[in-house]
Structure 1
Amino acid sequence: MHKIYECVKDFGAKSGLEANPSKCSIFYGGVDESTKDTIRNCLGFPEGNFPIRYLGLPLISKRMSYMDCSSLFVKISGQFQTWLHRKLSYAGRLQVIKSVILGIQIFWISCYILPIKVLRQIDVLCRNFLWGKSDQAFKISLVNWTNVCTDKKLGGLGIFSATQWSIATALRAIWHIHMNKESLWIKWIHENYLKNRDIWHISAKSSDSWMWRQLLKVHLSDLYTALSSTAAKADCFSNRIWNSIMDWLQFKWRSADWHRLLDWYISRLRGKGTTQRIKRLAFSVAIYNIWSERNDRIFKGKVRYIDQLIRKIKVDILTISLNYPLPAEDKQWLLSL
């Protein structure tokens, strides 16, 4: 620690960028009191306590609570109060929400998975501002908020709901983890949580951080929902793929309804038997490949036929299954498909 501090002072002496001791604190983790005293005497910095603020965001060492986001509400409300006295029209208020408030919202949501209560409160603040409701004036919302947050092509106003934007940001983080993007945080995730496994086959543990558990909770259900709700054509596309995989595996029960599939996955696929493992694997591989195909079509302009995608899913299932220690009769059954 002394050597590091000497390097910092040497850098300050040569560059002129010196740290202000009155604004410096040191934070300890798993350090005994005698070591703390030694470091404190060496550096002369007081011990800091969480939470602290960094770039306008709270840094905390536990699950983020509703109260931790009070500064976010104050900032959004302050922006609304700034514009409220200007007697804006509905179009003007809509533009404030889309430009000013969305920027604040994105800044927070890109760094944290906010509690659902916080996301709903952001939507409440935006809804009240749009329709002119305040402590001094009560006005009824003219249109349901869900419809307001629909795309303009579908009759909405094109506002991004905080709840939906949070899901999209979480899925973006999952995609970066899957692609092992160059990032210190993602490398830490791979080293401590994934350990040479992929994110699609990881289960949350009680000892994991709250943020990581929320990411794992969101990754399967919301990913499939996002895929299945885009259009009726996408529904038909996904259904054909899923039912074809079920036919290939000779499983009689099937459904293309997401809620029934999720209930089937959660309640009926428990256990360590080979059949249960393969069903869980088929479900995960199918969803991942449908998502990957959707991304290729939207962002790369690449299109594969349904038969090609089904063949890819089959190969993935066989590759993973046959490299797993299975009984000889189960391997024989897989090879016979």
Structure 2
Amino acid sequence: MTILRTFSTFSKSSGLNMSKEKSNAYFNGVNEDLRKDIPQVSGLVQGNLPFRYLGVPIKTTRLTTHDCSPLIDKLLNRIRGVGARKLSYAGRLVLVQSVLKTLHNYWAAMFILPNGIISKLESICTNFLWDGEVDYIRTPLVSWEKICKPKREGGLGLKNDVLWNKAAVGKLVWWIASNSDHLWVKWINHTYLKGLNWQTYSPSTNSSWSWRKICQTKEVFTDAYTQQLWKPQKGQEYTIAKGYGFIRQKQTDVPWVSQIWNRWSIPKHSFLVWVQQHNGLNTKDKLQKIGVNMDSICCICGQDREDNNHLFFSCQYSRQIIMEIGKWLGMNIPYQNLRDMER
């Protein structure tokens, strides 16, 4: 009755009414008589777990691969709904960043996703990026590990799904650590913590799988809380992006990032140059190793072995083209500097 009075008060205040046809009652820890009385009094039909809310499954136990199948289906539908194979590498990269990764981020912000689902998501994104297909067809030109680095470190700026999911769960850890004014935090304090210190708390073996995972994630951010990187004050709160930056292994910035990624460059040209910087192009020496070509001699000059360095820097015709472009632009292009950028 308390819940019905609350709904009634809300309706009078907002002018919005609950749709009983679209609502269900769910029970846990109540006797059979109460299960029968509540639907009769409220007019609600008893529902069963799991159910779907805002497109995601709601259940009391850990998510399974089957539970996450709608996420995979949505990704596949987005890919098949566009002329993916007609897009350039750069076009498919934009689609992965703006559409496919957004779907994953939506789920990752609410659930601890199974490792099998995250591997499947990465596989779909990898195959789509390099060939416009869902299934594995060809070997990627550059590894997924390198792709998931920031551009300043030589990557394409995509997020590592495993680390992003941990950073998203880290938001729950932050809510508990800062005693945030959320109903869920109050329930955690009443059910699990019971006045114990959150920083030193360890879950019992009979705790739920999700709660144990949250506690494991807390250990990942122990140093951050010790250093007080995030504080409750406005502008210093925890965000998923900050958490991701903390747990990600940072690497040295590459010297050529501004030469490739800038507002004057055509995106598909920038992407191909980026592949070249990672020695990912299918030059004749690489094709010979996998048995596609019988020889590895440069087809332009016909003198030396065609590899990444020769094709762009050592070939006499490449040098001539670079110098002619410099004359056309009215620029003196130092050839040695280009070789240094390549290294």
TM-score, normalising length from structure 1? 0.62
**Amino acid across the alignment from 1:131:** W
CA offsets 1:276-326 (integer angstroms, 9 cap, x no match): xxxxxxxx6xx3565425989xx76xxxxxxxxxxxxxxxxxxxxxxxxxx
Aligned to 1:92: 91
Aligned to 1:25: 24
Percentage identity across aligned positions? 31
Separation (CA, whole Å) in 1 of partners of 2:59 and 2:103: 19
CA 1:115/1:135 → structure 2, altered by over 3 Å: closer, same or farther? Answer: closer
CA 1:105/1:136 → structure 2, altered by over 3 Å: closer, same or farther? Answer: closer
Separation (CA, whole Å) in 2 of partners of 1:11 and 1:197: 36
CA 1:41/1:175 → structure 2, altered by over 3 Å: closer, same or farther? Answer: closer
* Mean CA deviation greater in 68-77 or 133-142: 133-142
**Amino acid across the alignment from 1:145:** W
Structure 2 counterpart SS, 1:157: coil
CA 1:291/1:97 → structure 2, altered by over 3 Å: closer, same or farther? Answer: farther
> Retained in 2: the 8 A contact 1:149–1:156?
yes
* Mean CA deviation greater in 204-213 or 66-75: 204-213
Separation (CA, whole Å) in 1 of partners of 2:186 and 2:20: 32
Aligned to 2:172: 173
Structure 1 counterpart SS, 2:52: strand
**Amino acid across the alignment from 1:218:** T
**Amino acid across the alignment from 1:102:** K
Separation (CA, whole Å) in 1 of partners of 2:191 and 2:133: 47
* Mean CA deviation greater in 132-141 or 31-40: 132-141
Aligned to 1:153: 152
> Retained in 1: the 8 A contact 2:127–2:137?
no
CA offsets 1:42-96 (integer angstroms, 9 cap, x no match): 2232210011111111111111111110111111111111234461111111111
Separation (CA, whole Å) in 2 of partners of 1:58 and 1:5: 25
Structure 2 counterpart SS, 1:67: coil
Higher-Rg structure is 2
CA 1:169/1:136 → structure 2, altered by over 3 Å: closer, same or farther? Answer: closer
Aligned to 2:131: 132
**Amino acid across the alignment from 2:105:** I
Aligned to 1:184: 183
**Amino acid across the alignment from 2:56:** L
CA 1:172/1:67 → structure 2, altered by over 3 Å: closer, same or farther? Answer: same
Aligned to 1:292: 228
For residues 1-337 of structure 1, the aligned pairs below 5 Å read 1=1, 4-5=3-4, 8=7, 12=11, 17-85=16-84, 87-132=86-131, 134=133, 138-220=137-219, 222-223=220-221, 287=223, 291-293=227-229
Separation (CA, whole Å) in 2 of partners of 1:151 and 1:98: 13
Separation (CA, whole Å) in 2 of partners of 1:182 and 1:295: 15
The Cα shift of 1:136 comes to 7.5
Which of the pair is proportionally richer in helix? Answer: 1
The Cα shift of 1:168 comes to 1.5
Aligned to 1:259: none
> What's the Cα RMSD here?
2.7
TM-score, normalising length from structure 2? 0.61
The Cα shift of 1:13 comes to 7.5
The Cα shift of 1:117 comes to 1.4
The Cα shift of 1:104 comes to 1.3
The Cα shift of 1:102 comes to 2.2
> Retained in 2: the 8 A contact 1:52–1:60?
yes
Work out which structure has the larger RCO, using CA pairs closer than 8 Å and 6 or more positions apart in sequence. Answer: 2
Separation (CA, whole Å) in 2 of partners of 1:22 and 1:294: 45
Aligned to 1:330: none
Aligned to 2:263: none
The Cα shift of 1:18 comes to 3.2
The Cα shift of 1:214 comes to 0.5
CA offsets 1:184-229 (integer angstroms, 9 cap, x no match): 1122222222222332211121221211101112222x33xxxxxx
The Cα shift of 1:98 comes to 1.1
CA 1:160/1:7 → structure 2, altered by over 3 Å: closer, same or farther? Answer: closer
Number of residue-to-residue matches in the alignment? 234
**Amino acid across the alignment from 2:188:** I
